[in-house]
Amino acid sequence: MPATVAEELAAVELFGEVAPALLEELARHAAVRRVSAGQVLFVQGDPSDHLVYVRSGRLRVLVTSDRGDELALAVLGPGETLGELSVIDELPRSATVQAVDPCVLIFLPARQVRAVLSQSPAALFSVARQLAGQVRRLTGSAADLVFLDLPRRLAKLVVSHAKPARDGAKVADLGTSQSGLAAQLGTTRQSVNRALGQLSARGWIEVDGSRVTVRDEPALRRFSGAL
C-alpha cells in the first residue's frame, strides 16, 4: 500500500521528531509535481516560498556567474530536501535547481514549514544540523579547489560516489555529463575528459558514460588524499 505524504515526511530526517498531527496538517498543504529531465525548477534570485522533497529522480543545484559560467554545488536524490536556507531566512533562492532525471517532487509551502518548526524544537535542530552539514561540505569543496589539482579532485569525487554493484565491483554513478562534472569541479569539459583518461590509463577506473567502475580504490584514495 503506497505511503501517504504524511508518512513520507515522517521518514525524512528533518521531520522525524514532529508530531503526527503536525505532519498531517503540513501534508494537507503539499503539492506533488512531476518534472522532466533538464527542466529548471527555479533560478538563483527567484522568490523562495517552498521546501522541496525529492520523492524520485535527481536534482542538480548550481550557481552561475554574470558571464554564464556554472558551478554545481550538489546533486540531490530521493529522500533529500532543498530550500531549508530560504525557509529560515525568507530570502530569494541562493542557487538554480535543474532536474537531472524525470522527478517526482513534493512542494511544501514555506509558511507551513515554519509553523511546524516553531512548534517542534527537534525539527528546528534538524534544520540547523543539515545547514551545518552543507557548510562543512562547501568548506571542503573550497579547500579542494585550492589544494588539489583536477585529477585528484575527480578521483576524490569518484571515491565519494562509489557504491558496491552486483558483480562485487564498486561503481560511481556521477549522474551527469562531462559538462555537468566540469561545472561541479570548477573546470572545463575538455579538462574533465583528459582527467578521466588519465585515471583510466592508470587502470584505476573504467568509464561508461556517467558510470565509473572503480578498479583500484586504494590507489584512488592515496592519489586523492581520501584515506
Q: Which residue has the cell 586523492?
A: 224
pLDDT tens series, the chain, 227 aa? 456 888 888 888 888 788 888 889 999 999 999 999 999 999 989 988 999 999 999 898 888 877 777 777 888 889 889 988 888 888 899 889 999 889 999 999 999 999 988 888 888 888 888 888 878 877 877 777 778 899 998 998 888 888 887 777 888 887 667 777 777 787 888 888 899 999 999 999 998 877 889 999 999 999 988 55
| Same fold yes or no, 5-145 and 148-224 | no
**For the chain, which residues make up each domain, given as ranges?**
5-145, 148-224
- Strand pairing partners for 62? 72, 96
Q: What is the reported pLDDT for 2? A: 56
Q: What is the reported pLDDT for 1? A: 42
Please count the other Cβ atoms lying within 10 Å of the Cβ belonging to residue 88.
Answer: 16
Find the radius of gyration of the CA atoms of the chain: 19
Taking CA atoms, 192 is separated from 43, 58, 178, in Å, by 26, 22, 6
What pTM was estimated for this model as a whole? 0.73
**What angle do helix axes 121-147 and 110-119 make, rounded to 10 degrees?**
110
Please count the other Cβ atoms lying within 10 Å of the Cβ belonging to residue 196.
Answer: 18
Q: Which fold has domain 148-224?
A: Arc Repressor Mutant, subunit A (1.10.10)
Q: What's domain 5-145's superfamily in CATH?
A: Jelly Rolls (2.60.120.10)
Region of 161 please: left (phi>0), alpha (psi -120 to 50) or beta.
alpha
